[in-house]
């Protein structure tokens, strides 16, 4: 009877020791992984809106919420955007003219 009790106690001690070691290992592993994740956030990759190339955030240029790999691509993108806005305005003007014609 005593032998069985001792075996049970030994088994319980081993079980909890193993559990504690496992938890310590997990915490140690998390501590080791965390700094690497921090590095990833520091070197976040962004995409150039003009050529779709990925580059580190610190090397990229930011303009109105868009990222660019170079000032050249930023200028091209913004120039094209302005043209698109102009075209939209021209279409709006045309539609307005059509309405006026109908009203006449
Ligand atoms: Zn680019």
Averaged in consecutive runs of 10 residues, what is the pLDDT profile of the chain (104 residues)? 90 96 91 61 85 94 93 94 84 73 64
pTM: 0.47
Query: What is the pLDDT, as a whole number, of residue 89?
Result: 82
Query: What is the pLDDT, as a whole number, of residue 57?
Result: 93
Query: What is the pLDDT, as a whole number, of residue 13?
Result: 96
d(CA 4, CA 2): 5
Query: What is the pLDDT, as a whole number, of residue 100?
Result: 64
Find the 74 Cα to ligand 1 centroid distance in Å.
Answer: 8
Query: What is the pLDDT, as a whole number, of residue 22?
Result: 95
Query: What is the pLDDT, as a whole number, of residue 47?
Result: 96
End-to-end CA distance of the chain: 109
Find the 51 Cα to ligand 1 centroid distance in Å.
Answer: 4
Find the 65 Cα to ligand 1 centroid distance in Å.
Answer: 15
Find the 56 Cα to ligand 1 centroid distance in Å.
Answer: 12
Q: Dig out the tokens for 16 from the structure.
A: 């909890």
């Amino acid at each position: 009877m005593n032998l069985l009790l001792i075996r049970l106690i030994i088994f319980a001690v081993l079980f909890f020791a193993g559990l504690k070691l496992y938890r310590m290992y997990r915490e140690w592993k998390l501590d080791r992984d965390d700094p690497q994740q921090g590095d990833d956030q520091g070197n976040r990759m962004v995409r150039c809106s003009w050529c779709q190339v990925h580059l580190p955030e610190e090397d990229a240029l930011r303009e109105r919420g868009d990222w660019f790999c170079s000032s050249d691509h930023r200028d091209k993108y913004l120039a094209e955007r302005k043209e698109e806005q102009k075209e939209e305005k021209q279409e709006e003007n045309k539609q307005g003219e059509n309405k006026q014609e109908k009203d006449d």
